[in-house]
Structure 1
């Protein structure tokens, strides 16, 4: 009979713990599952037990295997063998974390070893095909790029204020499981981090398309903020763009965050709006840029 890894055919969770240099913590397995067999590398995780949520499984499995209880786990997505060929579990929940966990703090409670490996070295590691495809999928995601970006000592970002015909601004409801300093469950301005060597305007077009599935045609620069001007800012420099394409809410594909919705200026005080976003929106609605459009 063919060998099967623990959890094969079951539902499970894995943890993708990312370091500032982009390395990912992998576990070297001691069970024999072809083709790579004993000694293959894979993200830590395991099968879901009765009564557990996928998050509970991820947290428990990581702690059982390493002795570390993660505090900054975030859900990314759930995949099946139809999406990731050669995947062993029938349903796998992916979680990312950026807790600062040095290798020296990790106990090897299961498997042969744990090590941070940079993606540039993945091709040298023994891995089963499903693991290779799963990691490639994660490396291509905004979840990976964004996690690495937020760990950098200097961060530059973009925000996009889009308006409808009534002068309302499109805001994004942020995920509820974000780390506390990243304004979980609050409304904010769509946008994200500028990638290395990327022009700010190109980053604005890219981020909006990644978050909504929509490619904007035009954007205008409103203002560039420094961190000192925006208490609580997640970036050291923040480029704000705007336009009034009047995109219907029903055309927006919510690819990041919980929702997108238009809000009028007089509705903002009734909302839970991320601090830096609230300050930017107040400045924008009081600006000549906005008055020229709607007054």
Structure 2
């Protein structure tokens, strides 16, 4: 697969007390994964490393950047290359400021396996993005002991 012309994004798996922080994307057409639970993160700017991009996006989206992050892997599909990092979330959910998206929440491993979770702001259950669920299931298989 030729990845040279695909956009690259940097995304973060943030975990706290056995749960994962996800963003409920705005439910508007024209954006990736509208109305679905997805990772925080975004496009890597020119001359920016994936790690720097991920930290910049977290500050923009939730006013938080972890002190230390680790690379989990790179996921390719036909539309985008995802650089995935992980780190513990060291603050309470109430201490984050949602700057982008419809909602955010700490999802349980059960919700991730089921592929859906309730959103207070939406007032309904919403699905996880398909790739986001796959990445989280891979992470839970490899590092499940980290999150408990």
Q: Report the TM range for the smaller structure's normalisation.
A: 0.7 to 0.9
1:290 matched to 2:129? The reply is: no
When you count strand as a share of all residues, which structure comes out higher? 2
1:240 matched to 2:95? The reply is: no
After TM superposition, which residue ranges in structure 1, 4 or more long, deviate above 6 angstroms?
Answer: none
Q: Which residue of 2 aligns with 1:223?
A: 73
Rounded Cα–Cα distance in structure 1 between residues aligned with 2:74 and 2:24: 23
Counting matched residue pairs gives: 133
CA contact (8 A) 1:209 1:216 kept: no
Rounded Cα–Cα distance in structure 2 between residues aligned with 1:263 and 1:196: 32
RMSD over equivalenced CA pairs, Å: 1.7
TM-score, normalisation: structure 1: 0.43
Structure 2 regions of 5+ residues with no counterpart? 117-126
Q: Which residue of 2 aligns with 1:251?
A: 95
Indicate the structure whose relative CO is greater, using CA pairs within 8 Å and at least 6 residues apart. 2
1:171 matched to 2:22? The reply is: yes
TM-score, normalisation: structure 2: 0.83
1:204 matched to 2:54? The reply is: yes
Q: CA deviation at 1:176?
A: 1.0
Q: Which residue of 2 aligns with 1:273?
A: 128
Structure 1 regions of 5+ residues with no counterpart? 1-152, 229-233
Greater gyration radius: 1
Q: Which residue of 2 aligns with 1:161?
A: 13
Q: CA deviation at 1:270?
A: 5.1
Q: CA deviation at 1:245?
A: 2.8
